[in-house]
Copies of this chain bind each other. A is one copy, B any other.
Amino acid sequence: MWTTFFRRCSTAPATSVIYSHRSGAKQKKMSDSFALKTPRGTQDFLDDNVHRKAAIRTIEDIFVDYGGKELDTPVYELTDVLLGKYGGEASKLVYDLVNADGEKCSLRYDLTVPFARYLAMNRITKLRRYQIGKVYRREKPVMTKGRFCEFFQCDFDIAGAGETMLSDAECLKIVDEVVQKLDLGPFTTRVNHRSLLEAVLLHCGVPPEAIMPVCSSIDKLDKEPWKDVSEELRVKKNIPGAVVSQLERFITFEGDNREIIEMYRKEVSNLQVARSISELELLLKYCDAFGIDVSFDPSLARGLDYYTGMIFEATLRGESEGSGSIAAGGRYDSLAHSLTSTTKKPFSVPCVGLSIGIERIFALLHRKLPKPKEITTDVFVASPQKNLLLERISIWNRLRSAGFRAQFERKNNAKLLDQLQFCEANDVKIAVIVGKKEAEEGVVKLRNVATREETIVRDADMIEEIRRKLNDN
């Protein structure tokens, strides 16, 4: 049969041969006995053509329903655009390109900074855009933990001022709809507010310059217990024990949304806290109207520097629990401005967005859904003798022009039994059989693959007859 049985090569290739750091001389030798592979931390995907594509189309359709326009940006940006936008370690992790045309360029690290660059460059004050594309991290890959140097991101963002917290709530609604439509099972969306978190950290005595390092420790609380995080805060980040104890009270406080909000109102009287809390309350109202559940989580921090308001993370519960977040995002009102602050005309636009963990979703669907059929076809054109390839092609061509999903046997000299077995294995409905005798008489044999019943029809009646049989089916 003409289609091939392939193996899904998502993990095998990249781990099969791993180069280690070598001296120049040894590298030369490596390249003599050259081993074919993808670069470290990258992988090939041969798609099963159904789950991934269907999932992406579902997500795209939802994005479009929410007013999203697809934006495609270059895979590399001017290095200056990316520098200093992510904070901490991240800025070291960009791939630089060897200079061309005197411009310093780097592969994009995410899709958010390129979006902000696009908005600022074109001074766009209102846009809903989505983008599904690969991003690059120049770090040591850990394939087993799903840490790659090249991977997909799938983002939807809303730029522009609107009713306070409405766009934020819409982002949560979109995530909810994606998870529902893809049937990923029960999940939890946790939300917090960067400004609230910052105010609370300051209130507890964290010095302003330590806010981001403390956030990145706190962000680990979904994977590590408070004991480990508090030790990291004390030992690695030099936060005094008294401050860490204060933090514990707020960060690990458990309760429903109402209880947490009341705790903050009672414990921290502060304008910044009051404003963030009322934004979160408004968010919860919109979420309620949108019919979605979200949980306020004081420990949610998110690693990136650029968030300024609401932040969120969605994780699956039940059997898929522990597979990490499947969506996350937040508000970043200063990013476009930070890109233009040194230009003649600074530009600013508030933004909020979400990122779907599309690679995780592919992996989940791959595990959950049945392996798709090798081929989907209603009609298959077969022959009992050799040398009838041109006749089969002509018949197939008529079927295809008439709009049928059809295939034909591509081997000139194939056994009829093999062809009929292929039809049965792939749920083909009708086999059109053309032999030497049939070709001479201007007829074809139509075989109902399921019942094995065969009828002879004239060439001229074939299309009509197949249409009738398929409709009866």
Contact with B along A135-150 (1 / 0, CB 8 A): 0001010000000011
Given A36-B339, A95-B97, A397-B289: A127 and B163 interface contact (C-beta under 8 Å):
no
A43 at the interface (CB under 8 A from B): yes
Residue on B nearest A391 in the bound complex, by CB: B289
- 21 pairs, CB–CB < 8 Å, chain A vs chain B: A2-B67, A3-B128, A4-B127, A7-B122, A9-B118, A9-B122, A19-B101, A22-B102, A37-B121, A40-B101, A42-B74, A43-B74, A44-B71, A47-B70, A49-B64, A49-B70, A67-B407, A163-B410, A166-B389, A286-B390, A291-B397
Residue on B nearest A38 in the bound complex, by CB: B74
Do A95 and B102 touch across chains, with their CB atoms under 8 A apart?
no
A260 at the interface (CB under 8 A from B): no
A13 at the interface (CB under 8 A from B): yes
Do A342 and B34 touch across chains, with their CB atoms under 8 A apart?
yes
Pick the residue among B72, B76, B285 that contacts A44 (CB under 8 A).
B72
List the B side residues contacting A265 at CB < 8 Å. none
List the B side residues contacting A473 at CB < 8 Å. none
Task: Kindly report how many copies of this chain are found in the complex they form together.
Answer: 2
Do A36 and B75 touch across chains, with their CB atoms under 8 A apart?
no
Which residues 37-61 of A sit at the B interface, judged by CB distance below 8 A?
Answer: 37-49, 52-53, 57, 60
Interface size of A as a range: 35 or more
Cα of A57 to Cα of B57 in the assembled complex, Å:
10
Cα of A309 to Cα of B416 in the assembled complex, Å:
32
A345 CB, nearest partner CB in chain B, Å: 10
Contact with B along A376-418 (1 / 0, CB 8 A): 0000000000000111011001000100010100111000000
A209 at the interface (CB under 8 A from B): no
Pick the residue among B71, B98, B393 that contacts A97 (CB under 8 A).
B98
A78 at the interface (CB under 8 A from B): yes
A69 at the interface (CB under 8 A from B): yes
Given A47-B69, A127-B4, A390-B285: A120 and B42 interface contact (C-beta under 8 Å):
no
A315 at the interface (CB under 8 A from B): no
Do A21 and B102 touch across chains, with their CB atoms under 8 A apart?
yes
Given A39-B103, A76-B39, A340-B36: A286 and B3 interface contact (C-beta under 8 Å):
no
Do A60 and B67 touch across chains, with their CB atoms under 8 A apart?
no
Contact with B along A1-38 (1 / 0, CB 8 A): 01110110100110000011110000100011111111
A321 at the interface (CB under 8 A from B): no
List the B side residues contacting A105 at CB < 8 Å. 39
A160 CB, nearest partner CB in chain B, Å: 7
A313 at the interface (CB under 8 A from B): no
